[in-house]
């Protein structure tokens, strides 16, 4: 089943005189457990694709379904509720709360959603923290961690509630080569081992080579849809 389904989606900005078509007639399914890389030049519509898929932005035409629900037919409040239930985010800039500890940051999505952590979820989160090598850091603040560690905290936070999909926006953009490949390996195994669906926007052919699928956008259209590719094939 599709976690995200786009049906003939158009998204434009501006008024008639200055209209920009950020997405044009996009129809695509992102399936459960798939790790998809979204590539394309600057201005090709990658951020718009992600924002529309996550219900952060409304479509102009067509339909977008998230976990089977029609985002295009919902108001902002309903979309926000759906997003909090089903979506995790990872950003280039990590977006951790500086005043909170690692443990508090990881639990933040539960806090925001007003949900308590069940014993089963607690076990899962403890497992994640160990697997991500963060066990000795749970009481530290983000500023006391390296970039790679901070991104691992962000990934733990995104995985903690087992969302239907994680959107990762240039997640390795601020990391050195070694931390990058750790983070990519983690996302890869989250998809393979836990069936976690991940959509990652990236410019980096090496990052995209970790994905199961490479979608290429150009001028608001999906111009290529490949299976797993090597960095050489991508660049
Ligand atoms: P990418 O992420 O691939 O760089 P974007 O989705 O950010 O592409 O942008 C696609 C097109 O839509 C670009 O022409 C961009 O300038 C335009 N665009 C994006 N967001 C806005 C906005 N809020 N207002 C007006 N134009 C926008
Ligand atoms: P909330 O009211 O739950 O904070 P938001 O729409 O502000 O809902 O954001 C939900 C998540 O999406 C947050 O993690 C936020 O940092 C992220 N986010 C907000 N705006 C954008 C954006 N323009 N692009 C990508 N992610 C965003």
pLDDT at res. 99: 97
pLDDT on residue 1: 79
Q: In this structure, which residue's CA is closest to atom 14 in ligand 2?
A: 89
Predicted ipTM > 0.95:
no
How far apart are the CA of 19 and the centre of ligand 1, in A? 11
What b/e string do you get for 177-198 counting C-beta neighbours within 10 Å, with b at 16 or more? eebbbbbbebbbebbeeeebbb
Strands (E), the chain: 2-13, 20-31, 35-39, 61-66, 69-70, 87-91, 165-169, 197-201, 213-218, 221-226
* pLDDT, tens digit only, all 235 positions of the chain: 799 999 999 999 998 899 999 999 999 999 999 999 999 999 999 999 999 999 999 999 999 999 999 999 999 999 999 998 899 999 999 999 999 999 999 999 899 888 899 999 999 999 889 888 899 999 999 999 999 999 999 999 999 988 999 999 999 998 899 889 988 998 999 999 989 999 999 999 999 999 999 999 999 999 999 999 999 998 8
pLDDT of residue 113: 82
Distance 230 CA to ligand 2 centre (A): 32
- 48, 52, 56, 83, best to mutate for ligand 2 pocket (most atoms within 8 Å of CB): 56
The answer to whether 28 and 225 are in contact (CB under 8 A) is yes
**pLDDT value, residue 16:** 86
Q: Residue 112: what pLDDT? A: 85
The pTM of this model reads 0.86
Residue 201, phi then psi, degrees to nearest 5: -85, 130
Q: Which atom of ligand 2 is nearest to the CA of 87?
A: 11
Q: Which residue's CA is the nearest one to ligand 2's atom 17?
A: 89
């Amino acid at each position: 089943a599709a976690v995200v389904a786009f049906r003939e989606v158009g998204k434009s900005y501006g008024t008639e005189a200055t209209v920009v078509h950020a997405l044009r007639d996009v129809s695509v399914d992102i399936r459960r457990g798939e790790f998809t890389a979204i590539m394309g030049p600057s201005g090709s519509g990658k951020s718009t694709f992600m924002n529309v898929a996550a219900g952060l932005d409304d479509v102009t035409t067509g339909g977008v379904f998230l976990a089977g629900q029609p985002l295009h037919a919902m108001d902002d409040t309903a979309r926000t509720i759906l997003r909090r239930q089903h979506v995790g985010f990872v950003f280039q800039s990590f977006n951790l709360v500086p005043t909170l500890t690692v443990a508090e940051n990881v639990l933040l999505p539960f806090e925001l959603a007003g949900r308590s952590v069940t014993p089963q979820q607690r076990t899962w989160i403890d497992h994640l923290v160990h697997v991500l090598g963060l066990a000795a850091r749970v009481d530290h603040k983000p500023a006391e961690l390296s970039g790679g560690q901070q991104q691992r905290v962000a990934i733990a936070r995104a995985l903690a509630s087992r969302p239907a999909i994680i959107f990762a926006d240039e997640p390795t953009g601020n990391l050195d080569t070694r931390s990058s490949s750790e983070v990519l390996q983690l996302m890869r195994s989250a998809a393979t081992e836990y069936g976690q669906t991940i959509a990652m926007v990236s410019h980096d052919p090496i990052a995209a080579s970790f994905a199961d699928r490479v979608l290429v956008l150009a001028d608001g259209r999906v111009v290529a849809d490949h299976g797993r590719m090597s960095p050489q094939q991508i660049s």
